A and B are shown apart, each in its own frame.
Chain A
Amino acid sequence: AQKITQTQPGMFVQEKEAVTLDCTYDTSDPSYGLFWYKQPSSGEMIFLIYQGSYDQQNATEGRYSLNFQKARKSANLVISASQLGDSAMYFCAMREARADSSYKLIFGSGTRLLVRP
């Protein structure tokens, strides 16, 4: 079963505007962590933001914020004031406690964001 679903294979946004990248997840465990990573064309995965399942407030890191709706199992990334350098692949990922204690990090299929000047 798909654990992390990103339904937008590609998105466009105008420079300086805000954009929301969708992510839904599936878990029966009450304890889990949600991450967003950015992957530029160079290939490196860059950590952006983290949300814990017990966190009361939505996470924010600079221009990045996470719209966490626990009941709907969604963790959408909001990028405010888009910049040309934001053009990249964006991956949503989840870490959950496993029986073997491995805390595996599982990725969604990603959204390619293109920022237009």
Chain B
Amino acid sequence: DAMVIQNPRYQVTQFGKPVTLSCSQTLNHNVMYWYQQKSSQAPKLLFHYYDKDFNNEADTPDNFQSRRPNTSFCFLDIRSPGLGDAAMYLCATSRGRTLNTEAFFGQGTRLTVV
């Protein structure tokens, strides 16, 4: 059974049109992450939540926002997508803030900007 679910799997949006990607988890994990992965590159952390505590990476553009209304759900909002935002977006969760905690990933949402 899928434990981290991302919807949709594929999203096509128009240049400049706001888009929201969603992630849900059944693991009851404290931490939820959003990563951006461009073709043949390493996943890049955009931000993460520890419970409701939001942590933004210093180099994450302002165009990217996130919401976590409850433990199970987390959303990635791209306010004005540009062509450079086309990528795979990965949501992940982990049980807490410890060194040995593995992250569980969803299947990703592949975003195309036209």
Given contacts A33-B100, A45-B43, A53-B99, 4 further A-B pairs with CB under 8 A are A32-B99, A97-B99, A101-B97, A105-B92
- Taking CB atoms, residues of chain B closer than 8 Å to A4 are 42
A residues sitting closer than 8 Å to B (CB atoms) are 4, 31-33, 35, 37, 42-47, 50, 52-53, 91, 95-97, 100-110, 112
Interface residues of B (CB under 8 A from A): 33, 40-43, 45, 48, 50, 55, 88, 90, 92, 94, 97-108, 110
Q: Are A43 and B50 in contact (CB under 8 A)?
A: no
The 10 closest A-B pairs by CB, nearest first: A45-B105, A33-B99, A43-B108, A107-B42, A44-B107, A103-B97, A47-B102, A109-B42, A107-B43, A33-B100
Show 30 residue pairs from A and B whose CB-CB distance is below 8 angstroms, ordered by the A residue: A31-B99, A32-B99, A33-B99, A33-B100, A35-B102, A43-B90, A43-B108, A44-B105, A44-B106, A44-B108, A45-B90, A45-B92, A47-B103, A50-B102, A52-B100, A91-B42, A91-B43, A95-B99, A95-B101, A97-B99, A102-B48, A102-B50, A103-B98, A103-B99, A104-B48, A105-B45, A109-B42, A110-B40, A110-B41, A112-B40
